């Protein structure tokens, strides 16, 4: 891998949509009408087939979609596609989101028993996929911009945003991020005075004695799936990662899998979930397993299962705290006490283990002056370069994701990480700086010699601004480049000299942990400068490939590190595994 760039290849793909295959149809059938006569079990099985065999499948791969006895449908599809395709464009049949949308519609549609033969069954599913593809790739108009790089990044954002979090080809990477945060979270809440009653209610509701059974079960499900996949691969030559897995009784005895946890994470196969109650797959994220009538459990999305290790716990604990125990200030306790004052502080302390930096954490900063204090402040003892950290734990509304409108998406992010101009649908008279806006205020104080947290910080110091976010899926490609533009625009609007102010770094919090050895050995600034160089080279089309340059221009610092510096995290994870498996 060339460490100058995050990506070494980029492809532009066109998803096959309904109008391409059936251009003569003026009135489209509804997805629900096509699904209502298909048994739910068959749809679930088919969605798993899409995940395993047809995600990003070429048209050539599609030839195996049709059963041997359905030659007429196959020939008709191929003829229609041949007439519609354009030279020079690479087409794919589905994306990672297509099977999720199929299930979202299927679970919103009660089954109506009918006489649907196998030919009609395949035709209906083919049309459903094409209709879903058409809906998934409709975006609001992207306004022209005098800066063509900005316009291009908006296009990247529009295409990556709705797919962010689903199209992960590296499940191990996703698992690592979720697993380490999960262990840190449970270790904290099981001992903290505020959270302990919430934690106790959580494990009581599930029917387990401690959090380790919860984490072990999710890891155990993954292990069983992987084992089944290996057997399947040997038997039939196809690796089916997302299949049903049996609940094996002896796994209770070795304490790997808890049936109570499986049931807690499962929805019944006959459940009906209205579409509006499953925006952004909120129901699927909460219930990432499907319980079949025969007692087996189907895994239909590994990312959602891994999210159940950490991200989704926020909503479980929030509900218990507010609705059941009536505890106040849950948001402050979670975001400030746990995430900023515990997790972020712990991860940055690992980086500074060799005392390279003068460090002031958020608690210490607030003790000096609470109003406007940084979440963390580092100053390199060798050259006085300053690293300012602001952390934000944000969530993007499902309606914004479903809109697929880049202007709505950008407005939502600006309101969450730049300046709060709207709260619960109401415009504020006095917008409040947040995230990037807070970093700008801190920089202004340094430039005005008014930085009370370090009286020696001065006008000429090099400043690295860092925005830390909780979830890497909150940082879709295209957004980091746009955020940096907002950063510099607002600096200049306030009359702040941008000399010696480095571009904005957007990082997911776990990157600080997973690369702590590298950051400790070579410094954070070393890798930040590598990242800046990649952006400059990409902007200058250093790869001689316009699309590849655009892809590299648009990535976050976290995505750059994961791709440019892939590594084995075995040693680090032993520390976390010991807490889960060796503490009983």
Burial code of 471-481, b = ≥16 C-beta within 10 A, e = fewer?
bbbbbbbbbbb
**C-alpha to C-alpha distance for 312 and 304, rounded to whole angstroms:** 9
What is the distance, to the nearest Å, from the Cα of residue 43 to the centroid of all Cα atoms in its chain? 26
Cite the beta strand spans of 126-273 per DSSP E: 244-245, 266-268
H or E stretch at 521: helix 516-522
Whether the Cβ atoms of residue 204 and residue 324 lie closer than 8 Å to each other: no
Whether the Cβ atoms of residue 538 and residue 549 lie closer than 8 Å to each other: yes
The structure tokens listed for 436 are 């990037």
Cβ atoms within 10 A of the Cβ of 71, count? 11
pLDDT at 241: 40
**How are strands ordered across the β-sheet holding 244-245?**
244-245, 297-299, 289-291, 266-268
**C-alpha to C-alpha distance for 473 and 89, rounded to whole angstroms:** 28
What residues contact residue 45 under an 8 Å CB cut-off, 6+ apart? Answer: none
pLDDT at 232: 41
**C-alpha to C-alpha distance for 433 and 421, rounded to whole angstroms:** 9
Render pLDDT for 182-234 as a digit per residue (tens, 0 to 9).
999 999 999 999 999 999 999 999 999 999 999 999 988 887 776 654 444 34
- SS3 sequence, 336-379? HHHHHHHHHHHHHHHHCCCCCEEEEEHHHHHHHCCCCCCCEEEE
pLDDT at 419: 95
Q: What is the mean pLDDT of each run of 10 residues along the chain (584 residues)?
A: 66 86 94 94 88 73 83 92 88 87 96 83 93 80 75 82 66 85 97 98 96 93 69 39 52 72 96 93 94 89 91 96 97 95 96 94 96 96 96 88 84 95 85 96 95 91 96 89 96 95 97 94 96 91 72 91 85 82 72
Whether the Cβ atoms of residue 176 and residue 569 lie closer than 8 Å to each other: yes
pLDDT at 246: 58
Select from 138, 27, 24, 173 the least CA-distant residue to 405: 138
Whether the Cβ atoms of residue 264 and residue 206 lie closer than 8 Å to each other: yes
**C-alpha to C-alpha distance for 34 and 18, rounded to whole angstroms:** 14
DSSP character for 116? -
The structure tokens listed for 30 are 């509804």
Select from 305, 309, 310, 295 the least CA-distant residue to 221: 305
Counting Cβ atoms within 10 Å, is residue 418 exposed (0-12), middle (13-18) or buried (19+)?
buried
Counting Cβ atoms within 10 Å, is residue 381 exposed (0-12), middle (13-18) or buried (19+)?
exposed
DSSP character for 146? S
**C-alpha to C-alpha distance for 157 and 396, rounded to whole angstroms:** 14
- CA separation (Å) from 280 to 130, 149, 263, 396? 20, 29, 22, 9
**C-alpha to C-alpha distance for 476 and 471, rounded to whole angstroms:** 10
pTM of the predicted model as reported, rounded to 2 decimal places: 0.90
- Angle at which helix 546-553 crosses helix 524-539, to 10 degrees, equals 150
DSSP character for 502? P
Counting Cβ atoms within 10 Å, is residue 6 exposed (0-12), middle (13-18) or buried (19+)?
buried
**C-alpha to C-alpha distance for 366 and 374, rounded to whole angstroms:** 8
Whether the Cβ atoms of residue 273 and residue 282 lie closer than 8 Å to each other: no
**C-alpha to C-alpha distance for 434 and 436, rounded to whole angstroms:** 6
For residue 432, list its beta bridge partners: 420
- DSSP track, 396-439: --HHHHHH--HHHHHHHHHHHHTEEEEETTEEEEEEEE-THHHH
For residue 90, list its beta bridge partners: 13
Cβ atoms within 10 A of the Cβ of 96, count? 18
- CA separation (Å) from 169 to 61, 175, 194, 302, 303? 19, 12, 38, 11, 10
pLDDT at 247: 57
């Amino acid at each position: 891998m060339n460490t100058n760039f995050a990506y070494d290849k980029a492809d532009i793909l066109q998803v096959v949509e309904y109008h391409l295959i059936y251009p003569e149809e003026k009135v489209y059938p509804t997805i629900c009408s096509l699904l209502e006569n298909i048994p739910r079990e068959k749809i679930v099985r088919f969605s798993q087939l899409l995940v395993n065999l047809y995600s990003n499948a070429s048209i050539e791969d599609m030839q195996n979609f049709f059963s041997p006895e359905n030659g007429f449908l196959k020939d008709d599809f191929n003829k229609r596609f041949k007439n519609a395709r354009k030279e020079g464009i690479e087409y794919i049949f589905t994306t990672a989101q297509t099977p999720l949308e199929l299930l979202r519609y299927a679970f919103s549609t009660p089954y109506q028993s009918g006489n649907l033969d196998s030919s009609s069954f395949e035709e209906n599913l083919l049309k459903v996929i094409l209709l879903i593809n058409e809906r998934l790739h409709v975006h609001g108009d992207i306004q022209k911009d005098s800066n063509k790089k900005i316009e291009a990044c908006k296009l990247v954002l529009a295409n990556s945003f709705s797919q962010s979090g689903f199209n992960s080809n590296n499940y191990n990477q996703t698992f690592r991020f979720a697993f380490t945060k999960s262990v840190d979270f449970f270790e904290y809440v099981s001992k903290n005075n505020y959270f302990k009653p919430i934690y106790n209610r959580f494990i009581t509701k599930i029917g387990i004695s401690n959090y380790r059974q919860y984490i072990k079960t999710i890891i155990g499900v993954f292990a069983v799936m992987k084992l089944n996949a290996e057997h399947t691969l040997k038997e039939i030559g196809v690796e089916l990662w997302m299949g049903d897995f049996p609940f094996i009784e002896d796994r209770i005895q070795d304490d790997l899998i808890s049936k109570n946890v499986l049931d807690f994470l499962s929805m019944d196969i006959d459940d009906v979930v209205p579409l509006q109650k499953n925006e952004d797959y909120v129901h699927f994220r909460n219930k990432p397993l499907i319980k079949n009538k025969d007692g087996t459990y189907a895994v239909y999305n590994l990312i959602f299962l891994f999210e159940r290790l950490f991200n989704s716990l926020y909503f479980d604990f929030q509900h218990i705290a507010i609705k059941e125990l009536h505890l106040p200030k849950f948001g402050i306790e979670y975001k400030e006490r746990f995430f900023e004052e515990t997790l972020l502080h712990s991860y940055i302390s690992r980086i500074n283990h060799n005392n390279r930096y003068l460090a002031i954490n958020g608690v210490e900063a607030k003790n000096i002056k609470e109003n406007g204090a940084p979440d963390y402040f580092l100053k390199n003892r060798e050259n006085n370069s300053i690293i300012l950290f602001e952390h934000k734990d944000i969530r993007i509304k499902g309606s914004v994701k479903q809109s697929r409108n880049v202007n709505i998406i950008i407005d939502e992010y600006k309101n969450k990480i730049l300046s709060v101009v709207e709260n619960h649908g109401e415009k504020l008279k006095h917008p409040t700086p947040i995230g990037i806006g807070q970093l700008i205020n801190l920089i202004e104080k340094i430039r005005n010699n008014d930085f009370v947290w370090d009286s020696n910080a001065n006008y000429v110091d090099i400043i690295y601004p860092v925005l830390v976010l909780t979830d890497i899926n909150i940082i879709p490609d295209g957004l980091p480049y746009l955020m940096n533009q907002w950063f510099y625009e607002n600096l200049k609007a306030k009359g702040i000299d941008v000399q010696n102010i480095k571009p904005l770094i957007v990082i997911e919090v776990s990157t600080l942990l997973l690369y702590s050895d590298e950051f400790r050995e070579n410094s954070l600034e070393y890798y930040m400068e590598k990242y800046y160089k990649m952006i400059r080279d990409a902007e200058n089309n250093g790869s001689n490939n316009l699309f590849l340059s655009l892809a590299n221009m648009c990535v976050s610092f976290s995505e750059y590190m994961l791709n440019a510096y892939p590594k084995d995290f075995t040693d680090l994870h032993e520390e976390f595994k010991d807490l889960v498996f060796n503490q009983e």
